[in-house]
Amino acid sequence: MSDLNWTVDGPVGSPSFQTDWFVVHAAGRTTPETAEALDKLCRTYWYPLYAYVRRKGHAPQDAQDLTQEFFSRLLESPWLRDVHPSKGKFRSFLLASMNHFLANEWRRNQTQKRGGGRETFSLDGVAAEDLYRFEPSHSDTPDKVFERRWAMILVERVVTRLQEEYCASGKGDLFAALKPMLDGEMNPEGYATVAARLGTTEAAVKKAAQRLRENYGELLRAEVAQTVSDPFEVDEEMRNLFTALHG
């Protein structure tokens, strides 16, 4: 992957660069914060990349090995300390790197154990294949599978964060009742039924649902912003996310 040409001119390390790009750039630093950020990064992208490799036609065990080795090489490569894009989407860079890896750099040593003896993080191949069985059976391209799973993981992360915040403030029941309204649709039970169940008014439920959707939108936008290098790309990425989710 050393012949991939991605460069940047700018203040790496400034607060505005606390993105997925920044995390990859910091891969060579051994701090607790970097380790935690890298772990989050790997766990965000490993299944979309696994699904991408599977849709490329690789068998489950081979796809697991390839994805594991890709991350090992990506995070151990010295060139990462000097690479940072002046523009572009992080996931586009990641997919280009994976394609380069699959085409040119994977050379299995037959005498070596699977995974090459290096494990950047624990990849649960059984769980990965269980997830893959739920992928649509129609002929979605590997790129579409990757995009959809990237979008779903970002949404799931935001929903989990919202749930944790509501539970921490003693409003877990409220979140459970309002969660089906996150996409803007009214809960099948209706606002009045939810209000009666929670012992409040219909107007209060509507207001709470609106506030939840606003918080959801803000957090989702913040998550998307972490995947780009330029704030002006966020609106486009939001559109890409919803397209990936809904086609």
Q: Which domain holds residue 46?
A: 1-105+125-135
Helices (DSSP H) in the chain: which residue ranges?
A: 20-25, 32-55, 60-76, 90-100, 125-132, 142-168, 172-178, 191-198, 202-225, 234-246
Q: Which pLDDT tens digit goes with each residue over 101-152?
A: 888 755 554 334 444 445 555 555 557 777 777 677 666 888 988 998 889 9
pLDDT at 178 over 70: yes
Q: Which pLDDT tens digit goes with each residue over 14-68?
A: 333 346 766 666 655 666 666 776 777 788 888 899 999 999 888 888 888 888 8
Q: Considering the domain boundaries, does residue 141 fall inside one? A: no
Tell whether 96 and 174 lie within a shared domain: no
Q: Which pLDDT tens digit goes with each residue over 191-244?
A: 888 899 899 999 999 999 999 999 999 999 998 888 877 788 889 989 999 998
Q: Considering the domain boundaries, does residue 117 fall inside one? A: no
Tell whether 94 and 154 lie within a shared domain: no
Interatomic CA distance for residues 246 and 63, integer angstroms:
26
Q: Considering the domain boundaries, does residue 120 fall inside one? A: no
pTM: predicted TM-score of the whole model, two decimal places:
0.72
Tell whether 130 and 161 lie within a shared domain: no
Tell whether 37 and 64 lie within a shared domain: yes
**Burial of residue 116, with CB atoms counted within 10 A of its CB: 0-12 exposed, 13-18 middle, 19 or more buried:** middle
Q: What local confidence, expressed as pLDDT, does residue 246 receive?
A: 81
Total of domains in the chain: 2
**Cβ(55)–Cβ(141) below 8 Å:** yes
